[in-house]
Structures are given as structure tokens and as C-alpha cells.
Amino acid sequence: MLILQTDRDSLLKPLQAVTGIVERKHTLPILSNVLLESRNGVVQLLATDLEIQIHTTGMENDKGDFRITTNAKKLQDILRALPDGAIVQLEQADNRLTLKAGKSRFNLQMLPADDFPTMNVESSAQIAFSLTQEALKNLISQVQYSMAVQDIRFYLNGLLMQVEDNQLRLVATDGHRLAYASETIEGNFAKTDVILPRKTVLELNKLLNQANENITVELLNNQVRFTCNGTVIVSKVIDGKFPDYNRVIPLDNDRIFVISRTALLGALERSAILANEKFRGVKLFASAGLLRVSCTNNEQEEAQEELEIAYQGDELEVSFNINYLTDMLRNIHSDDVQLAFGNDINKSTLLTVPNQPNFKYVAMPMKI
């Protein structure tokens, strides 16, 4: 029985919006599937891993109602492999889904749609607000690289979203560096914190592809819901207490200079070629009017770069993991960056954008 006929891209685009959270191999096999449902002439797609759930509205359908599940990644791979503009037909028979396109034919296994689990989503939100997708994407890009990866302190494997008064703040840290960014939003809210899982942050960032369109953010009891572009992401939040980021941000670093972001990034990227592959260390030497960047490795090779800076303070020498600096410089969009060092070289360094108090980045030095 023919249940859907459409062009390849009309099915592939909504499928790609939901399949990012699907694991190819799952202990519960049906969670490797996507739920396709046609109601009232519109096809909807849903995927979940029971921690995060994505639901999107797809194409129109005049072939009647249906509700099926099939392997999400295999269906996506097939559609990707078909030529642009191909007309796709889906036929359902027993527990098989047949996909036809031109002279190509694929038989896919289905599992009962009634067995497909979905998250229980709370209906009422404690806090709800909207902002442009571009604004949220910029916030995420400025901080997400500082999230921890598989840290035993599970609350660091995510991103703090804090709402207070008319401010939305995002903070991420892995214990060695911390990134903070904020944006003004409409409303006046009581201070509320949630920790978004890493997977949620990555999927949300992919969804934000229509810069001038709004996204609605709703903080539920133990969940958060994002709605935009006809797609809804619902995610559980990490149950834990995020570190007090205000205690980490140094306020009295007084050895300060401003430098071109692109010039510093270029010097670091070139120097990184000869950095120790394991420790990734870089030394910064600052003296009157000059910043020297230096990397060495176990083969006694060395890279040196010199940059002019407007600095007349005491000489200083400090070392960092070079990735901590390049990650930040690649993800902010400004002409200049300001570095503020303390009198103690073992103290954290504050990197900011001149005249932009809504971004702060803290990097701990390392010993080489």
C-alpha cells in the first residue's frame, strides 16, 4: 500500500533534523528507529533516546494517515545516496517498508509504532522567553567549546543556562577554563538555573539555521523545551549544582594589553605545528611593546612568533594549553581581544573583548 510520495529533499530535510540524537546501536532496538506519522495531510517525524526528544513537521501527504517506525540512520543514508530531485515512494506491507525511487528499491524492517516510547513532557512552563536564532547561536558558539567531555563531575559535561531579570547567560567550564556569554531578553524573571546536556547543546546548535527567525525557550520542572522552524526539542536537564562562575572570574588582573584577534590566532596556529603533541603547551612572553609566542616539542624543535603590542608593564611569562587559546579566538567575532594577567603567573588569565562586558573567558595557566 502506497503511503507517501514526495521528492527526496522534502523527506530528507526533516529526517536530518531529528536523527542526530539516534544511536545506530541501542540496547532498546526501537530507539534506533524514527517514528513517521501522517495525520490530517501532514507528515510528522519524531526521534528520542529518552533523554532528549526531537519532533518536527515534514511534508504534506495526500495518501491518507499512517503511523510507522523504521531505522532512522538507514533511511537517512538511502535518501542521501539518491540523486537530487528524485521522487520517493514509501509503501507499507506487513512489517516491511519499501522505498522506491526510479529503478532503485529498498526493503526496510519496521517495528510496531505502538511500541515506540516517548518522553513525558510537562505541559506548563515555569519560564518562557524568545530571542532570535542568531542571538542564541552566537551565545552557544562563544561558550560550548569549554564544556567538559566525559568528566566524572557530570554537571560539567553540559552548559549552564541561567535566566535572571532580563538576562540570559550561558556558561561552560571543564575545570581548566571557563567561558561566559550573556544576552538581553524581553521579560523580568526570577533567577533560574538549568544545566543542558552536551548532546542537547550540539543538536540545538544545528537547528539554529534561520538567523532572523525567533526561537522560544521554555524552562519546565526537570526539562527544557526549544521550539523553532516547525521543530520541537525537549531535553532532560542535568541534576547537579554548577560551580559558582563568579568566583572563578578574576577581577584584579592589572597587567593588561589589547591585541588583534586574527594576528594572535595566526601566530598561535603556526606555533602549534611544533607544539608537544601530548601537552600542547605554548609560552607567552610579554615585555614593553612586544609579545613573543613560543612552542617546543620532544624533538627539540621550536617555533617563535613576535607581535607588537601596546604594553608598558612589567615583563611576564606564562604558559597555556594552546588549544584553550585557539578555541576561544576561533569562536568569537571581534577585531581585538584583551588579555589581563595577574601578578601571580599561576593565577588564571582573563580574556575579554574590549567594550563588550557580555563575554568573558578564563584560562588557567600550565607548567611546562
Domains and CATH numbers, the chain: 2-115 (3.10.150.10), 127-246 (3.10.150.10), 249-363 (3.10.150.10)
The pLDDT, as a whole number, for residue 280 is 94
Query: How open is the CA angle 4-10-14, to the nearest 5 degrees?
Result: 100
Q: Name the residue with cell 522567553.
A: 129
Would you list the DSSP string of 155-222? GGSEEEEEEEEEEEEEEEE-SSEEEEEEEEEEEEEEEEEEEEEHHHHHHHHHH---TTSEEEEEE-SS
**CA nearest neighbour of 277 among 256, 293, 258, 299:** 299
**Residue numbers in the chain where pLDDT is lower than 70:** none
Query: How open is the CA angle 109-110-113, to the nearest 5 degrees?
Result: 175
The pLDDT, as a whole number, for residue 39 is 95
Instruction: Round the average pLDDT of the chain to a whole number and report it.
Output: 95
**In a 3-state reduction of DSSP, which class is residue 267?**
helix
**CA-to-CA distance for 22 and 154, rounded, in angstroms?**
21
The pLDDT, as a whole number, for residue 25 is 79
The pLDDT, as a whole number, for residue 32 is 96
The pLDDT, as a whole number, for residue 171 is 98
The pLDDT, as a whole number, for residue 123 is 81
**CA-to-CA distance for 18 and 225, rounded, in angstroms?**
15
Phi-psi region of 262 (alpha: psi -120 to 50; beta: other; left: phi over 0): alpha
Going by the DSSP 8-state scheme, the letter that residue 226 receives in this structure is E
The pLDDT, as a whole number, for residue 29 is 92
**CA-to-CA distance for 273 and 291, rounded, in angstroms?**
19
Helix (H) or strand (E) holding 322: helix 322-331
**Which value, to the nearest 10 degrees, does the dihedral of the CA atoms of residues 103, 109, 110, 111 take?**
-170
**CA-to-CA distance for 301 and 307, rounded, in angstroms?**
21
Contact 229, 210 (CB under 8 A): yes
The pLDDT, as a whole number, for residue 34 is 98
* CA of residue 57 relative to chain centroid, distance: 22
Contact 46, 121 (CB under 8 A): no
Contact 108, 96 (CB under 8 A): yes
